[in-house]
Structure 1
Amino acid sequence: MILRKLFLILFISGSIFFLLKDLSGIQNPHQAPFTSKADSLYKDNIVYTSDNLIIEKLSGHTYLHTSFLNTNDFGRVACNGMIAVNGNEAIIFDTPADNTGSEELIKFVNEKLKSRINAVIPTHFHNDCVGGLEIFHDNKIPVYASVKTIQLLQKNNNNKEYSTPMNGFEDSLALNIGDKTVYAQYFGEGHTTDNIIGYFPEDKAIFGGCLIKEIDASKGYLGDANVNAWSETVSKIRQNYPQVEIVIPGHGDSGGKELFDYTILLFE
């Protein structure tokens, strides 16, 4: 009799366990979460790491570089940039946050990827994009920036000429690496009034910089932002690049077009 009761208790407990397990896998259709494709984007393919710099290979010709910026409000922040490589030539979007990381990045591209850096392009005027420009200039690497970015750098330098010479462009720029082309494009205001994105068609990869948020990110620093225009700007990018497969945000994990969708909703 005791054994029979024990068996019934175990049977009922087991049934409840499996029922709850099955129910836990059912998603509420009204609360469907955003999911990132970051795990499929060579997430574990780290090709370089140090205290100052991490480099991941995201696809055949596209790399993610991550450096670190010490801030008062957010602590030590990981900051992303993109490297596009083809035919032993490279273009870099955003410098690492400091000179040391920039020196390491230049050395990696030159020695490990055996590529000449044709240009570095900051996507906006904040330190996480331009912190290492001086090192690139010292290595005779051309710097390209939008006219808006150059003006903001000068304004934030007490209206004195910014120390690093730059080649200015208006709303778009196309540069070659080998037989492929890399693009920089301005779509509108968002994180800043000057934020641009980088696009490498060969790998269908976009570097969105701080204009694009990783999944579950907060709105972050808004001191120079136009939050009313942000969603519309990102919507334009999404519409202009329906074929994109890799999207790199300014901070956090890379993914796909779901990063556009998340950012649009965040600022609506």
Structure 2
Amino acid sequence: MRFFSLLIIAQLLSGLAYAQTIQKPKLSVTQLTDQVYVHVTYGIYQNSAVQSNGLIIKTNDGIVLVDTGWDTEKDTDNTRQILQWVTDNLHQPVRLCIVTHFHDDRVGGISELHKANVRVISTPLTAQKSVKEGYESPDAILPNDTTFTIGDVPIRCYFPGEGHTSDNIVVWLPNQKILHGGCFVKSVGAFGMGNVADANLNEWSNSMRRVLDRFGSATVVVPGHDEWGDTTALHHTLRLLEKHAASKKR
């Protein structure tokens, strides 16, 4: 029994040491158009470093971010890197950040943005849920479907219905035909639905069809994680949902 107990302790310590050695890649930024970039940061999920995507939008009145870096209240280094990259490369102030739902890969860096005097906005439901998760509150000003213009760039924020979470929104840039789907949209490389702890799997397909109806002309679709591409990602998400539903009926 003593040997067995020591073996269990050794395995736990070994697992802890492994978790501590996981290294998160640093920020990377990819330019999509002359005004729009994808910021990529990483978080640890199920003992792996996982890519998380947001947008950097350049306007003639400053920079708009869509989603913070994947951070926590205790570690906001990813969002700090985003702000530094903007300073070093775009030489404009960050005016605004839109967060697309309440999980830490979307809102985790809010305290870093507030320290930098960046306004962070969301729907009322996202603000409420963010506070419950222990984060500072975004300004709860977004209705379920609204378009506003910053500088020369119109931005549409749209709540399609429940899916990955009850509060998920997508962000549409009509001039560039770019859709930021956030975690509501799965990458074509995804084999499953990922984190569904807060998902509404019964409504997600209906919500996705609303997105397809409205933004099916997108030339670029940026999912919350992994690689981006065209509207294939929207259809792929629907297929994954159908596969998931079929597996539950067996």
> RCO greater where, 1 or 2, for CA within 8 Å and sep 6 or more?
1
> How far does residue 154 in structure 1 lie from its aligned partner after superposition?
2.6
2:63 is matched with 90
Partner of 1:211: 184
**1:146 maps to 2:123:** yes
- The answer to whether 1:230 aligns with 2:204 is yes
Give unmatched runs, 5+ long, in structure 2: 1-23, 243-250
Counterpart for residue 123 of structure 1: 100
Q: Which runs of 5+ in 1 are unaligned?
A: 1-49
Offset at 1:103?
1.2
**TM-score scaled by structure 2?**
0.80
Alignment deviations for residues 122-161 of structure 1 (CA, whole Å, 9 cap, x no partner): 111000111111010011111101111112123333xxxx
Could you give the per-residue CA deviations for residues 75-100 of structure 1, whole angstroms, max 9, x where no partner exists? 22111111121225221111001211
- Aligned residues: CA RMSD: 1.7
Contact map agreement 1:208 1:248 (CA 8 A) in 2 = yes
Does 182-191 or 113-122 show the bigger shift?
A: 113-122
In 1, Cα distance between the equivalents of 2:227 and 2:122?
25
**Aligned to 2:29, which of 43, 51, 55?**
55
1:238/1:260 contact within 8 Å kept: yes
Distance (Å, rounded) in 2 between the aligned partners of 1:177 and 1:108: 21
- For the residues of structure 2 that align with 1:204 and 1:63, how far apart are their CA atoms? 13
The match for 1:17 is none
| 8 Å Cα contact 1:88/1:113 also seen in 2 | no
2:221 equivalent to 1:247: yes
8 Å Cα contact 1:118/1:142 also seen in 2 = yes
Describe the superposition over 1:175-234 as per-residue Cα deviations: whole angstroms up to 9, x where unpaired.
Answer: 323222112111101000000011111211010000001113121011000111111111
SS in 2 for 1:267: helix
State the one-letter code of the partner of 1:225: A
- Please list, as runs of the form range in 1=range in 2, the aligned pairs for 1:96-107 lying within 5 A after superposition: 96-98=69-71, 99-107=76-84
Question: Could you tell me whether the CA contact under 8 Å between 1:199 and 1:206 is conserved in 2?
Answer: yes
How many positions carry a matched residue from both structures? Answer: 214
- Aligned counterparts of 2:218 and 2:49: Cα–Cα separation in 1: 30
Alpha-carbon separation, structure 2, partners of 1:163 and 1:190? 24
Seen in structure 2, the aligned counterparts of structure 1 residues 214 and 171 have a Cα distance that, compared at 3 Å, is same
- Secondary structure at 2:83 match in 1: helix
- Alignment partners' CA distance in 2, 1:156 and 1:116: 28
Preserved contact between residue 220 and residue 228 of structure 2 (Cα < 8 Å): yes
Q: CA deviation at 1:111?
A: 3.0
**SS at structure 1 position matched to 2:164:** coil
Matched, 1:76 2:53: no
Distance 2:179 2:205 in 1: 17
User: What amino acid does structure 1 have at the position aligned with 2:210?
Assistant: K
Partners of 2:168 and 2:138 lie apart in 1 by 19
> Structure 1's 219 and 181: CA in aligned 2 closer, same or farther, altered over 3 A?
same
User: CA separation in 2, counterparts of 1:88 and 1:165?
Assistant: 21
Paired position in structure 1 for 2:132 = 155
Counterpart code for 2:167: D
Q: 1:264 to 1:165 in 2, by over 3 A?
A: closer
3-state SS of paired residue (1:203): coil
Match of 2:151 in 1: 178
Please tell me whether the aligned partners of residues 228 and 267 of structure 1 are also in contact (alpha carbons under 8 angstroms): no
Q: TM-score, normalised by structure 1?
A: 0.75
Give, as a single letter, the amino acid of the residue that structure 2 aligns with 1:191. Answer: H
Deviation of the 1:262 alpha carbon: 0.5
1:165 is displaced (CA, Å) by 4.8
Q: Helix, strand or coil for the counterpart of 1:192?
A: coil
Q: Bigger radius of gyration, 1 or 2? A: 1
Q: Offset at 1:164? A: 4.1
